[in-house]
Each structure stands twice: as C-alpha cells, then as structure tokens.
Amino acid sequence: MRIGHGDERWRFAWTEAMSWGIQRRSGLKVEQQPVPAEARVAAYTPVAFDADGVPVQPAVVGGASETVYSADGTPLLQPGDTAKLRMALWPFPIPARVVYVIDEPTRRGFAYGTLPGHPERGEEAFVVERQPDGSVWLVIRAFSRPSNALMWIAYPVARLLQAFYTARYERSLTGPIGG
C-alpha cells in the first residue's frame, strides 16, 4: 500500500516499522520482553542489497550485542527481540519474536515469528520501501495456520480478525507524521 511520498514520510515510516510502531498505531498493546541469550545467538540477518540489487552485506548468523537507535533516539528492533502483543477482546497475550531485520538503503523492516501461546503458527513481515520516484510503500507479508485444534474451529473468526488488523496496519502510517 502506498503510504506517502518524500524523505520525511520515509524516515517516519521505517522508524515506526522498526519499533513496533505499526502495531501500536493499530491498537495493539506491545509489551517488550527480556531477550533470552539463546535467541540472540540464533538470530539470522539476511543478505543486504544496494539500490541496484548488488549484495553489500552477507547473511549473518548471530545477533547484535548492542541496541541500535534511530536519529530521534527510538530503539530499533533486532533479531531475537521478543514481545507480547495484546489485542482488544482477546484475553491472552500473543507472543512473537523478531526473526529477521531488513536494513537496506530503500527497504527497512522486520518479520516476527509466532511463539508458543500464539493462536497461530507462522510469520508476518512489515517492510517499508522507498521507490525511485520518492513514493513510500508499506509491504505486509504473512503466512500462518491455526496453532491448535481449538483455533482450527475458530479459524473463520481468526481470518476476520487478521483482515481487520491488516487494514489497520496499512492505515497506521498514512496519517500525520508523529501524530
């Protein structure tokens, strides 16, 4: 989905994406969790590419040891970061862990994988892309399936909730910058 145009929208959008801002702006409560040491060690960072598609950084296994911050001081997500997401009308926390981060000149974002206790099994990626014409786009990719027999029964309702929150994710970065 196109979310705007220009450098200011680009910086705002990728900073929000890389700090659980999309989820918070969509009405979810995000509770950061301490990161287990084994999660940092097992983290994977994919190959990074420049604007021409030339690899500039090889894939890396292992996590960063220091927190990275945006220009405004916002801590940015790293592989292994873990959170419990809470949604209205759902009584249980929804645990997720960042499995990879994209940090390229024109693409930034992350994907999280579900953890035990999540109603589904799968991954969801939130990537902000800047095109050569200056337009800024949000790309959301997800794959999942119900995590247990009860969730298979509730699958139609779960799909409706997914569609509802995906629409909110898409709108989360189109409003006033910083608002």
In a domain, 163, yes or no: yes
Residue at 91 is within a domain: yes
Whole-number pLDDT of residue 109:
96
In 3D space, the residue among 147, 139, 10 whose CA is nearest the CA of residue 92 turns out to be 147
Alpha helices in the chain (DSSP H): 7-17, 21-25, 37-41, 149-153, 155-171
pLDDT of residue 69: 79
pTM: 0.80
In a domain, 7, yes or no: yes
Residue 164 maps to a domain: yes
Bridge partners (DSSP) listed for residue 75: 69
- Domain contains 116: yes
Burial environment of residue 48 by CB neighbours within 10 A (0 to 12, 13 to 18, 19 or more): middle
Q: 10 Å Cβ neighbour count for 70?
A: 14
Q: Which residues contact 45 (CB under 8 A, 6 or more apart)?
A: 57, 59, 60, 61, 79, 100, 101
Q: What is the pLDDT of residue 67?
A: 75
Pair 31, 83: CB distance under 8 Å: yes
Can you give the pLDDT at residue 4?
Answer: 94
| Mean pLDDT (10-residue bins), the chain, 179 residues | 95 94 93 72 65 75 65 85 88 91 94 87 93 96 79 80 86 81
Please indicate, yes or no, if residue 23 is contained in any of the structural domains: yes
In a domain, 43, yes or no: no
Measure Cα distances from 68 to 4, 17, 64, 77, 103 in Å: 26, 14, 9, 8, 12
Total domains in the fold of the chain: 1
How much is the pLDDT for 101? 94
Q: Quote the domain boundaries for residue 154.
A: 2-34+82-171
Say if 178 falls within a structural domain: no
Tell me, what CATH number does 159's domain have?
3.30.530.20
